A and B are shown apart, each in its own frame.
Chain A
Amino acid sequence: SQKIEQNSEALNIQEGKTATLTCNYTNYSPAYLQWYRQDPGRGPVFLLLIRENEKEKRKERLKVTFDTTLKQSLFHITASQPADSATYLCALDDRGSTLGRLYFGRGTQLTVWP
């Protein structure tokens, strides 16, 4: 069966440290993988997209890697801040599925404490 697993439901880290979130998938063939941030009571907000032929993508303090052999993406937030506290969702497409359709993981709730 198809699965998207995000490492843990909750991750707690100290301010200034690097947060690393994991997204593993099974029985999907994605060309693209995306990461979203969701705050309580709000809709998800797009952060980064990485293509299957890209190993790494950066945007300010954010870094995403994509390993199609391991079927895994890692999402890093460096120099984390309390304002980074939110739920982070990974999403991917799948060859052969409806155009534009994304499949989402359950998310990891990140808490950054001062």
Chain B
Amino acid sequence: ETGVTQTPRHLVMGMTNKKSLKCEQHLGHNAMYWYKQSAKKPLELMFVYNFKEQTENNSVPSRFSPECPNSSHLFLHLHTLQPEDSALYLCASSQARRGNQPQHFGDGTRLSIL
């Protein structure tokens, strides 16, 4: 039990579909993050939310749309994705302070675009 739960664990979708990824944390953290992990590449930060406010968008294409309704929940809405978007999408949470706080990760959603 990591404290950060992501659903679904696996998702296969066509390029014209719309789907959403969900992340939930019960650790009392005030910051949440979306990362993309592709083979042989470092974790790529996509979005950062602090106290439900988006504080960073790392030049992510608009086909990815985040939503943070409260400090415990984070969504990533997907629309008209491309094959190169196939990857592991990880959610994390932490206390939003200078980097002396560890990030707690979920086990990710493995996304495959047909």
Q: Any chain B CB within 8 A of the CB of A79? A: no
Mask of B4-41 contacts with A, CB within 8 angstroms, 1/0: 10000000000000000000000000010100000011
Minimum CB–CB distance for A114 against chain B, Å: 27
Complex alpha-carbon distance, A102 and B40, angstroms: 18
Q: Any chain A CB within 8 A of the CB of B87? A: no
- Please tell me the size bucket of the interface on B: 20 to 34
Q: For residues 40 through 75 of chain A, which have their beta carbon under 8 Å from a beta carbon of chain B?
A: 41-46, 49, 51
Q: Is the CB of B98 within 8 A of A31?
A: yes
Counting residue pairs across A and B whose Cβ atoms lie within 8 Å, the total is: 80
Please give the number of chain A residues whose Cβ is less than 8 angstroms from any Cβ of chain B in the complex: 29
Complex interface: chain B residues within 8 A of A51 (CB): 100
Q: Any chain B CB within 8 A of the CB of A17? A: no
Residue among A34, A43, A91 making CB contact with B4, cutoff 8 Å: A43
Interface residues of B (CB under 8 A from A): 2, 4, 31, 33, 40-43, 45, 48, 50, 55-56, 90, 92, 94-108, 110
Interface residues of A (CB under 8 A from B): 4, 9, 30-32, 34, 41-46, 49, 51, 89, 91-94, 98-107
**28 A–B pairs (Cβ distance < 8 Å), ordered by A:** A4-B42, A30-B99, A31-B100, A32-B98, A32-B100, A42-B107, A42-B108, A43-B90, A43-B107, A43-B108, A44-B103, A45-B2, A46-B102, A92-B99, A93-B99, A93-B100, A98-B48, A98-B50, A98-B56, A99-B96, A100-B48, A100-B50, A100-B95, A100-B98, A101-B99, A105-B42, A106-B41, A106-B42
